[in-house]
Structure 1
Amino acid sequence: MDIQPTTTSETVTADRPWLLSLHGSETNKTITLDLTKFSETVHWVEGTAFQPMRRLKSGLPLGKVTASGLYAPYAAATNEVQTVTITGSPTGGTFTLTWNSQTTAAIAYNATAATVRTALEGLSNIDPGDVTVTGSAGGPYTVTFGGQYLGDNTAQMTATASLTGGSTPGVTIATTTAGGTATATDGTQTFAGLLFTETAFNPGSTKCGAALMVHGDVRMAKLPLPFERPTDRTDSINFS
């Protein structure tokens, strides 16, 4: 395997701005992706009414799941996961979340996970794709950091509550997985290559075919996710 990062300004195609040269593209490997391992916004974007298929971003770093033989996002380090829990069964009011000195707009006590994500993405230091939020309306919410914070041990959020009703309502935050503190053990901790081109798949699908790029020159700054030289790799990737 030979994927060499570079910092030059040459581009090749519209959906592969990270690819410096087509040299080596003929060595792409046909693989099958485990779509259950990929997250919306971070790895794929939703389709439209006219083109309903979802689209995985080209240039995603991938690893191979040993047990299944399928490919999933490269995960040399864990991503930060924090939970936001509303306590005391409030019946009204709002709360805010503060992260790295930036505070969200007021969030309703019974907000959906999508609303919480939108509030966090409204911060100047969180871009679309930097967090995913899951959970039922009213929480608990699970906030996973990715994007530019992929594999980072980030600061823990704090909360300020203005909740009403219930019994002494409040908001608690806990770090359930510290970012950057552990290495995956399912095989994805070893970098296998990059998703060569934007790949479409139907909603509800659990697998799809794709092309894995294992040979070529890559412009690091244009990859869809931050990617650093793997420090624990056992393969023969060469980095300049």
Structure 2
Amino acid sequence: MTPATKRLKKAARIILIGAPGVGKGTQTERLLSRFPQLAAISSGDLLRENVRKRTTLGLQAEALIQAGSLVPDAVMLDLISSELAVKGWLTPSESTPSSSPAHASSISSSSSRPNTIMPSASFILDGFPRTAVQASSLDRILPINFVVHLFTPPSVIISRITKRWVHAPSGRVYNTEFNPPKVEGKDDVTGEALTQRADDSIDTWKQRLEKFEESSKALIEHYDRQGCLWRVEGNSSDEISPKLFAEIERRFA
């Protein structure tokens, strides 16, 4: 049964932090259903969209990617700022040459005059920031007021991913414990063989976890100092979601 939706009385600007496989995507989907005022803003999706539409920012990013370089934080910040401006949620400190989504120009993230965020803007920001340095840069243009540290014991996540199987052509996902296929090893719809994703191997996951822990420690400390960090623990998404809903309602509804 779909849970009743709730209306937010205060703007919620949310970031979810958690180890790979902890269920950030699942929680985002559930939050969007529970609180319709929320929007999901994915830095990765914005980057791909701007590259596809050949915007000024997209062309900058594409050139860097093709040269084998990382996209600088400033470009990512401009992508996020421009998307918020297009939605009417952010008033730039300097005039923006174009308001077209396909050709959105950058909003200065280095200006001494701060951008103004609309009081009603509520969203979940995905994929950025990933480091404390990025968080500090983001603070200058977009104050975040709720950072959720999702925690599930590594042993539980490992158990979960080793039981996850996918039908690659369709993307259908099965779990041998709580969502098994009707026939072992076969897709319910096509009967084709199921496989495990390369990043679902234990060794790969442990490498990703190590990288996450290295980069997230300072990030978590950054938001803890700002007083907007909240930690929630559970062995499954179903265990975490009710706690997360209750905390958001307590703070913003």
Give the TM-score category using the shorter length. under 0.3
Instruction: State the TM-score, normalized to the length of structure 1.
Output: 0.24
Q: Which has the higher helix share?
A: 2
Instruction: State the TM-score, normalized to the length of structure 2.
Output: 0.23
Q: Which has the higher strand share?
A: 1
